[in-house]
Amino acid sequence: MPSAAPEENDITSVSIEEYQALSAKLTEVESAAAAARDAQLRALAELDNVRKRAEREIDSARKFGTERVLGDLLAINDSLELGIKAAANPDATASSIGEGMTLTHGQLLKFFDKHGISIVDPAGQPFNPDFHEAVSAVPSSDVAANHVISVLQKGYRLHDRLLRPAMVIVAKAP
């Protein structure tokens, strides 16, 4: 069997200088890989910290997100308590109690406006099942068919979302 001549790329034919250069390149590549691994671990840790921080902020928003709204509502509660106390006074008149209730109702309407709540009061308007809940239909010659005759309970919207539909009586043809 004839012996094969050593090739130039054979590991036995690598010179000391080439070996040292390859060894230095290997060390450089290993160092770069370790730096990339370290950067990846740091990025994963930072991502985990961001996720945990977001969870804490969401939890805090759930717990305390209504704090401002409820704080505004406390003034209305105070007015109601004062009205109840005033009504218990033997010198209280129906007109003074009514005046206090009117002022408190005004506070409530300002609260609604401040927090994006609008009233759905569809008296005389065409019936809209998206915003109205028909309790009954009554024959009427005065009001056009499929229009609201009377509102039993007003509805409410929060910005563009319906909180509660208005409960209405709808006209039908006689």
The CATH number linked to 158 is 2.30.22.10
Residue 72 lies in a domain: no
Residue 60 lies in a domain: yes
Side chain identity, residue 55 = E
pTM: 0.64
Domain residue limits at 19 = 15-64
Instruction: Please list the pLDDT of the chain residue by residue as tens digits (174 residues).
Output: 555 555 555 556 778 998 999 999 999 999 999 999 999 999 999 999 999 999 999 998 888 888 888 999 999 999 999 999 988 888 888 888 999 999 999 999 999 999 999 999 999 899 999 999 999 999 988 888 999 999 999 999 999 999 999 999 999 988
User: How many domains are contained in the chain?
Assistant: 2
- Beta-carbon contacts of residue 150 (< 8 Å; ≥ 6 apart): 123, 168, 169
Residue 19 lies in a domain: yes
Residue 103 lies in a domain: no
Classify 118 as helix, strand or coil. strand
CA distance 155 to 152: 10
Residue 88 lies in a domain: no
**DSSP output for 20-33:** HHHHHHHHHHHHHH
Residue 91 lies in a domain: no
Q: Say what angle helices 94-114 and 67-88 make with each other, to 10 degrees.
A: 180
